[in-house]
Structures are given as structure tokens and as C-alpha cells.
Structure 1
Amino acid sequence: MPESKRRSKATYTPPAEKGSGIKAPSPRWWAPVMVTLMLIGLLWVVAFYLTAGQYPIPNILYWNLGIGFGLMLVGFMMTTRWR
């Protein structure tokens, strides 16, 4: 019975390196700003609920929630870049 031909395997070539792979640490101010933004956002939302919408800014009503959650979101997005 005849033998079938074997497939030739391609030789392995490792992926090219993208530099040293070590990223620089975050600046010293990064973590305090990140935590401060999250706390200010939390306090903004809590103040809105405790004062029944009268504070922090009385005339914008539920946009106060958007501002508070926006501040917290920016702080949270900063945590993803923190080294």
C-alpha cells in the first residue's frame, strides 16, 4: 500500500517584541486625584439626595446626578490607567 505524503510544518517564528515591555509608573498626583474625583462625585450624589434636590446646584434638578456620576466615572476610568 502506498504511503501518503507528510505535510511540511512551517517553522515557528516568535512575535516581534514591542520594546522593553515595562511601562512607566503613574505620576505621584494620579492616585490622589483619582480618589478625590470619586469621593467628590459620591458626596455630590449624597448631597443631592439628602437635600431633596435643593443642593449642590438647585436649578438643574436631576442633572446633579449626572454631574456626580460623571465625576465618579472619570475617577473610575483613571483607575484603569493607574500603575
Structure 2
Amino acid sequence: MPKSRNDRKKKAVYTPPPSAAKPKVSPRWLAPLMIACGVFGVLWIAVYYIAGASIPYMRDWAEWNLAIGFAGIIACIILSTRWH
């Protein structure tokens, strides 16, 4: 006689092994530095476009001002990948 489905052995529920590793914690300086780099980059580009012709060093650096601003924004993005 065939066995019914209820008579079959039930599988045990999977329980993952206990993790001994502590959760990663970001350093306290990471978030303020990340925000500062992003704000610096955006403000640098904004000031360059608004008043760059009247500020002597910005006028001399010409298009390098965009590189400086984007470097701050890229630094912000790189730092955000380290945040836990």
C-alpha cells in the first residue's frame, strides 16, 4: 500500500550557524568628512560658475576648477562606499 504524504519524514528547518564576527562600525570621522567633501565640491563648482571671472585664482585656473569640484564629489562617493 502506498504511503500518504503525511507519513513521510519532514525536513528540518534550516538555521544558520551563529556568527562570531562583530558588525562593522564606521569611524566617527567618516560621515562628516564625506559630507564636507561633497559640499565642498558642489560649492566650488557653483562659485566658479557664478563669480569665477571676478576671483583671481579661479580665473587663472580656468577649466581646472571643474576638476577640483568633481574631485570633491568623487571623494564623497568613494568615502560613502566605506560607510557601514
Q: Normalising by structure 2, report the TM-score.
A: 0.66
Structure 1: which 4+ aligned runs deviate by more than 3 Å? 19-23, 52-56
% identical equivalent positions: 31
Specify whether residues 65 and 59 from structure 1 end up closer, same or farther in structure 2 by C-alpha distance, changes over 3 A only. Answer: same
Equivalent position of 1:30 in the other structure:
30
Structure having the larger proportion of residues in helix: 2
Q: Residue 68 of structure 2 corresponds to which residue in structure 1?
A: 67
CA drift at 1:52: 4.5
Hey, what does 2:79 align to over in structure 1?
78
The Cα of 1:57 is off from its aligned counterpart by 2.4
Distance in 2 of aligned mates of 1:53 and 1:70: 21
For the Cα contact (< 8 Å) 1:48–1:54, is it kept in 2? Answer: no
Matched residue type, 1:69: F
RMSD of aligned alpha carbons: 2.0
Could you tell me which runs of 5 or more consecutive residues in structure 2 were left unpaired when the two chains were aligned.
Answer: 1-18
Secondary structure of 1:82's counterpart equals: coil
Give the number of equivalent residue pairs: 65
